[in-house]
Amino acid sequence: MIPLENSPNWFSVPSIIIDFFSFLVLFSISLISLKYYNLSGGNKKYKYISFAFLLICASFFFKLITNLALYYNEFIRADSPTIITDTLETIRSYNIFTDLTFTLFVFLNLIGLYFLYSVYQEKQAKSMMFLITYFIIISTYFSNLNYYVFHITSFLLLTIISILYFDKYALKGNESTKVLGYSFSSIAISQILFMFVSVDKSFFILAEIIQLLGYLLLFLILRNIIIHGKKKKQN
């Protein structure tokens, strides 16, 4: 996550709104995956996908809390103090709170992406699983010191997931699989754009929009898979 002070001032509230929509989209994807798990006769792969997106969804919840606590004055414009503004002011005065919520955002996001990767890499050695988990914990710690660490780690995981989908498409020729690859590629590109915010704040806007579009594309393709699955079951 990039702090909102690195975004254009006018984009602080729109950024929070975009993250809220991303939260809703991710939650919808989790529900859709769970529905397909039931339609597929208990295929555990879709249950794991649902859980992975639920973790990423939860990460966005903590991202929203962090940004609301830090930038309540941009989100809530009030001439006189209220219970909400007083509460947010108190929260903001304790860095430990925002540090904790940001840490949870990073950790849950990376763990969620790792779960998605694991869905298509079922035969993993336990030593490799421990190594990647350790890598995620280390990345989470250093992300608090420099946000580049989080975006680089996210980019690597998303790129690997995209490649796995494209490889699967090359084997089976399923168009839906190819679109899934494109959606994860879009989200991966957004992580790179986030890192250029220090060059120009416009990159923050572009990254937020591309990331949301990637999740929306993911939602639409999974929704189509559900509809196709229902029709197939009826026939």
The predicted-structure confidence for 61-82, as pLDDT tens digits, reads as follows 998 888 777 666 554 544 555 5
pLDDT score, position 112:
95
Res. 37 pLDDT band, cuts 50 70 90: confident
Q: Read off the pLDDT of residues 113-129 as tens digits, 9 standing for 90 and up.
A: 999 998 877 676 677 88
Question: Looking up tokens 């957004």, which residue turns up?
Answer: 190
**pLDDT value, residue 143:** 86
Q: Which segments of the chain does DSSP mark as H helices, in order? A: 12-39, 44-70, 72-75, 83-92, 95-119, 126-143, 147-172, 175-194, 202-234
Q: Name the amino acid, one letter, at 75.
A: F
Does the pLDDT value for residue 46 go beyond 80? Answer: yes
CA–CA distance, 34 with 47 (Å, rounded to integer): 6
In b/e form, how buried is each residue of 30-52, taking b as 16+ CB within 10 angstroms? bbbbbbbbebeeeeeebbbbbbb
In the predicted model, is pLDDT for residue 167 greater than 60? yes
Residue 151 has pLDDT above 90, yes or no: yes
pLDDT tops 60 at residue 134: yes
